Amino acid sequence: MDRLSYQLYEMLHLAFAPARAMSDATLHAFKSPFNPMAHTSVGRSFAAAAELFERMTRRYGKPVFDLAKTQVDGCDVAVVEEVMWARPFCRLLHFKREFDRAAPRQSKLLIVAPMSGHYATLLRGTVETFLPNHDIYVTDWGDARTVPPSEGKFGLDDYIDYIQEILRLLSKEQDGVVLHTLGVCQASVPLICAVAGLEARGEPAPESMVLMGGPIDPRRSPTDVNRLALHRGVDWFHKNCIHTVPFPHSGLGRLVYPGFLQLSGFMAMNLGRHVTAHLEMFNHLVEGDGDSAEKHRDFYDEYLAVMDLTAEFYLETVEKVFILHEVPRGVLRHNGDIVDLCAIRGAALMTVEGEKDDISGVGQTFAAQELCENIPRGRKLHHLQDGVGHYGVFNGSRFRQEIAPRIENFFLEVERPRGSASL
């Protein structure tokens, strides 16, 4: 029966289609300027209820970055999003800035997005913040339900392979331009492992790594997420979280951890907050407060858009990272070889944590500072941001005003000739 849950979800989604169509018609009827009731509280209540029903029963598609321009040195610069590299489960997006004058010589920044349910567009604010000062590249992970089984499996080893391929590509095309990397949340683990593998083989490594809210050592300040993994064990997750992609998706037959299950978990963690937010939106719509309602729409259009993860990647991450703690114990293997974080000597390291992070507790990311013992002390930096939770580490006002400037200063320091940096 568990394996049929995905099919049941699809059937329910289709079953609600007539009701969604009716609610959509109701919304348009009670928002029409030709309807006298549209200007009354009763009419606005009907319209608000119809909109909320439609939004709560729809499937949200993949959002877009929609970053058409940025400012460099006070001048507006057009931005063109292009695909620079592609594999079945990932595309490398390049936010190419179209300068009308000679382009300034700025460093490259690879932002490794987490593959943990939400799309890379969750980092839109992160990309927007760094665009004025860097040539930005972002890993755009694919939805597993859209990848045919004929493309093969995708596990943690493959994730690290992808990152190493991208790093080789960007290093090859550096032309003397410095390459920095930034891993967010779950992506911190494969990023640091990828860099360790490159340095162990004597291959070019990025100038720096910034790890933000990542579970390098989940044994430190364990959160509810960490305790759940330990309590349940990987067999429970395999039995209860893995489903088969149904018709009509192109990934038909692939085993995945479905996005709708992930979303239910996200919502359950803060159910009261989400209920309150939707009640507030209803009131905003009735009162005619369009700006507040639009902020709600923008947030939930992103938050409710989720993708499926391959079963092998999800289960391997749960087991190796959260249950067996293979990274801090020094026993994680990549393609059969031990991942030795002590091999990292050239890449500088910055770790960023949030004081109120309820997903990666305080100390979990900092652990990388101790595990990478051969990085010179002058090329290491840690920042604990007070007053922010998990998402505040890489987005929001505190990120823009306090965290991002520290990261920029870190980049500038490590770009100085070796021996002169003093973090």
Domain-by-domain residue ranges, the chain?
Answer: 1-58, 69-229+309-415
Residues 6+ apart with CB under 8 A from 392: 354, 356, 385, 398, 399
Residue ranges of the chain with pLDDT lower than 70?
Answer: 1-4, 16, 56, 173-175, 264-271, 274-275, 277-278, 282, 284-285, 296, 418-423
Is 313 exposed, middle or buried, given 0-12, 13-18 or 19+ CB atoms closer than 10 A? Answer: buried
Distances (CA, A) of 266 to 62, 205, 257, 313, 368: 18, 35, 14, 19, 27
Judge if the upstream peptide bond of residue 88 is cis by omega within 30 degrees of 0.
Answer: no
pLDDT in tens, 230-281: 999 999 999 999 999 998 899 999 999 998 887 766 666 566 776 676 677 7
Closest CA to 181 of 212, 154, 152: 212
Per residue in 86-118, pLDDT (tens digit) is 999 999 999 999 988 777 888 999 999 999 888
**Residue 173 to residue 175: CA distance in whole angstroms:** 6
DSSP states of 227-267 as a string?
HHHHHH-HHHHHHHH-EEPPTTSTTTT-EEE-HHHHHHHHH
pLDDT score at 58:
75
Using a cut of 0.75, tell me whether the model's pTM lies above it: yes
CA triplet 317, 322, 325: central angle to 5 degrees?
105
Identify which of 248, 247, 300, 251 has the alpha carbon closest to the alpha carbon of residue 277: 300
26 DSSP 8-state letter: H
Position 26: which residue type? T
CATH topology of domain 69-229+309-415: Rossmann fold (3.40.50)
Rounded Cα distance between 24 and 32, Å, is 12
